[in-house]
Amino acid sequence: MKTLEIIGKQELSGVVRIAGAKNSAVALIPAAILADDKVTICNVPEITDTDALCEILEYLGVKVNRASESLVLDPKAIENKEIPEHLSKKLRASYYFMGALLGKYKKVEMCFPGGCSIGARPINLHLKGFESLGAKITQEKDRYCVEAEELKGANIYLDFASVGATINIMLAAVKAKGKTVIDNAAKEPEIVNVATFLNNMGAKITGAGTSTIRIQGVETLSGCFHEVIPDRIEAGTYLIIGALCGKYLKIDNIIPEHLEALISKLVEMGVEVDVRQDYIIVNKQENYKHVSVKTLTYPGFATDLQQPFMVLLTQCTGKSMIEETIYENRFMQVPYLNKMGANIEIKDRKATIQGPTPLMGCEVEATDLRAGASLVAAALAAEGKTTIKNVEHILRGYEQIVEKLTNIGAKIEIKEI
């Protein structure tokens, strides 16, 4: 097990360069197998989630060549084999192999994906979409076989604008016969990034980024070059850290439009932010005002930022509220923040944060990726030393977090115990 040791209350300044988006890269990597030739993806974050997907690609026979942030994938020798449980359980996004292998071979066998335990996270909408395209699904415990004689375009309405279901249905439909329309599709920037990638390969997708996506099936997809968009959640996490401890901290290589919901809340509470074309400078202020947020699908306030944002609310004067509407179990950071001195109460899906409360370093545990990020933010703002256990969760989604924080003045060390 890895732990992080952080001595808090250091002033953080300098530049943090934001990596490519995890939630985009984890869909682009499986999507690459739809091409008949080599695909190059650049700005791929170096995190354990992308490593786990490359492991699955290699298991399937795809040649993987990684040189720092760029990934060259050659699927010419790929074989359609069942993805074993120990590989699929490593992360949530292994489920994108369902759509990609189904789209390419009309058959896929694999186990239920893994990922953070932040709710039940069923995949019924993905499966319903595959069925609408003509696939038959057999399920034995956690193991699925999804198979079709022919995939045919269909009109699919999603009961919820699910990111995963929208992408998975796009992957299965790009080579289906005829036209597919996904209504109530998710609108996250990662969806647009994946659709652009598929279009670069020769797919015909329009409307990505709106709630209606139209896909005209094509017979073949060829190799291409593509770039992962900047990670809006990593950027948001560092913006929050900057609001807690930053002295003119520059968050670089970002698309500020993807962060509008967070920026408007930061401004509302009194954080100084200077938003430029591809970077933001954040400067800590005193006496933040309390605010309320409700997590929503994009362009609403991202659920992935709710956990780190809660730390900032502990430093606001008055009673702040958070309502988590996307996941039923995404407040697992709360007992640890309270142990550090916060005053947070949870009732159902609502958290009330009474501030400001000084935070004190102690021993805490990352229960999931963003809970881990929230504990890092809290530790940086706390007096004394915080030890965070189960850091593996954090390394799944934050590239070189120790190096990035050290570079801006944090006292942070990673230890293997």
| Contact residues: ligand EPU, CB under 6 A | 22-23, 26, 92-93, 116, 119-126, 160, 162-165, 186, 233, 303-304, 326-327, 369-370, 397
Residue 316 annotated as catalytic:
no
Provide the minimum distance between the beta carbon of 357 and ligand EPU in the complex, in angstroms, as a whole number: 26
SS3 109: strand
Q: Which is nearer to ligand EPU, 29 or 186 (CB)?
A: 186
Q: Which is nearer to ligand EPU, 60 or 116 (CB)?
A: 116
Contact 111, 129 (CB under 8 A): no
Provide the minimum distance between the beta carbon of 121 and ligand EPU in the complex, in angstroms, as a whole number: 4
SS3 86: helix
- Single out the catalytic residue among 42, 111, 116, 245: 116
Give the helix/strand (H/E) hosting 283.
Answer: strand 279-283
User: Which residue number has the CB closest to ligand EPU?
Assistant: 164
Verify cis geometry, omega within 30 degrees of 0, for the bond prior to 299.
Answer: yes
Query: How many Cα atoms sit within 13 Å of 380 on the Cβ side?
Result: 29
What phi and psi, each to the nearest 5 degrees, are found at residue 344?
Answer: -125, 130
Instruction: Please give the order of strands across the beta sheet that includes 246-252.
Output: 12-17, 246-252, 279-283, 272-275
Provide the minimum distance between the beta carbon of 133 and ligand EPU in the complex, in angstroms, as a whole number: 15
Provide the minimum distance between the beta carbon of 339 and ligand EPU in the complex, in angstroms, as a whole number: 22
Q: Which is nearer to ligand EPU, 281 or 310 (CB)?
A: 310
Residues 6+ apart with CB under 8 A from 183: 155, 156, 157, 158, 211, 212
Distance, in Å, from the CA atom of 139 to the CA atom of 195, rounded to the nearest integer, reads 29
Q: Which is nearer to ligand EPU, 208 or 281 (CB)?
A: 208
Provide the minimum distance between the beta carbon of 162 and ligand EPU in the complex, in angstroms, as a whole number: 3
Q: Which is nearer to ligand EPU, 214 or 370 (CB)?
A: 370
Catalytically active residues, by annotation: 116
